[in-house]
Structure 1
Amino acid sequence: MPTRAPRLRSGVLAAILFLAAGPVPAIAQRTTDGARTGVETATQYPWYVDAIGPAAVTLVIGGLLIIVSPDGTRRRTDRALESPGAAFVYGLASLIGVIGASVLLAITVIGLVLAIPLLLGYVFVLIVAGELGYLAVGRLAADAWPAALAVAIIVAALVGLVPILGGLVGFVIGMIGMGTAVIEIRE
């Protein structure tokens, strides 16, 4: 565990509390005629449904990563905690590279046959590897896997709940997780 962990843990926990207590009441406000305000006006389902999907994905995939490869998951989350900036850059570079390669392949009709599976495969890998970022955030709060997974699920739910800021935070966390996978493949 990095030596700056207590300071980093308190910062992450403060951010989680801010996301939990800050924007959510503002999102759930209603106008005088009872209609929801903000992003919620376009949807017909309750506001908490946006939190269930990411939390369920983190529960299933994060739990499977912990069960199937606890040592590998610990190694990758350690890497994410030790150098999150480098992991983010590698994750972002992989995203840009796959999108660029897909566009170049899609220009030709024959390459389109390769571009679609490339993008679908990348999305699958991104979903799985992105959970490493959430587990790394969970490990900031607790080193034991059950507690780390619980924190990761809460963070994923909060990310899904907050409209714009949550999407940006989720993107960064996912790219850090993807970057750790890319770094490991590169080495």
Structure 2
Amino acid sequence: MCPPSPCRLRTAVLATATTLLTVPAVVLAQRTPSGYETGTETATAMPWYVQAIIAGGLTLVIGGLLVAVAPDSTRRRTDRALEAPGITFVYGVVSGVVVIGAAFLLAITGFGLIFAVPMLLIFVLVALVSGEYGYLAVGRLVSDDWLLALGSAIVVSAAVGAVPVLGTIVGFVISSIGLGTAVMAFQADRDSRP
């Protein structure tokens, strides 16, 4: 079992949101006209266009908030991602491995599960938000204007969400770069304090 990556975390969030939206329809579809269940229910995969819409929507909302609320900070982080994508990718992957490894070690003790679950939930949120820096950096390859960059990031995110295997790999790389920029910024802020 491989450790969850920011892309897998995004996929988990997308799958959860889609499940919450489709469960009522599936339950209603399982009823026969007489009101009895048939027992022949089958699981359906989420269509590619639904994955693309949800991925693009997440980038629209989270990326749009990052650009609207903190444009200078977002510009610095996307600059870092564009200047050193390899280093930021390594930072992102290593931080994910460290957090997941620490949570696993805490969970083994039983008592540490109290700390492991919140730590993983916080990491999922941080990875989801900071992964958007990677998509915004890709958008900035098209234009330095935030509106065009955000639009490009939405298109890339939707394309990554629509493609099954290759999209997952590309999404992992882009999200890891975004996570790495956030980790590097946090480390730089911590080192600059007296």
Whether these two folds match at TM > 0.5 is yes
Larger radius of gyration: 2
Q: Work out the CA distance in 2 between the residues paired with 1:86 and 1:44.
A: 36
Matched, 1:72 2:73: yes
> Which blocks of at least 5 consecutive residues in structure 2 are unaligned?
1-42, 189-194
Matched, 1:114 2:112: no
> Identity rate of aligned residues, in percent?
61
Deviation at 1:172, TM superposition (A): 0.4
Superposed CA RMSD: 1.3
Amino acid across the alignment from 1:91: G
Matched residue pairs, number?
A: 147
> What's the TM-score, normalizing by structure 1?
0.76
Deviation at 1:152, TM superposition (A): 0.1
Deviation at 1:129, TM superposition (A): 0.1
> Which blocks of at least 5 consecutive residues in structure 1 are unaligned?
1-41
After superposing on structure 2, the runs of 4+ consecutive aligned residues of structure 1 that deviate more than 6 Å are none
Q: Work out the CA distance in 1 between the residues paired with 2:123 and 2:47.
A: 31
Preserved CA contact (<8 Å) 2:131 2:176:
yes
- Name the residue aligned to 1:166: 167
- Name the residue aligned to 2:96: 95
CA offsets 1:132-171 (integer angstroms, 9 cap, x no match): 0000000001110000000000000000000000000000
Deviation at 1:46, TM superposition (A): 3.8
Q: Work out the CA distance in 1 between the residues paired with 2:45 and 2:94.
A: 37
Q: Work out the CA distance in 2 between the residues paired with 1:112 and 1:75.
A: 36
> How do residues 9-88 of structure 1 correspond to structure 2 at under 5 angstroms?
43-88=44-89
Q: Work out the CA distance in 1 between the residues paired with 2:45 and 2:86.
A: 38
TM-aligned CA distance change 1:159 to 1:186, over 3 Å: same
Q: Work out the CA distance in 1 between the residues paired with 2:93 and 2:83.
A: 18
- Name the residue aligned to 1:11: none
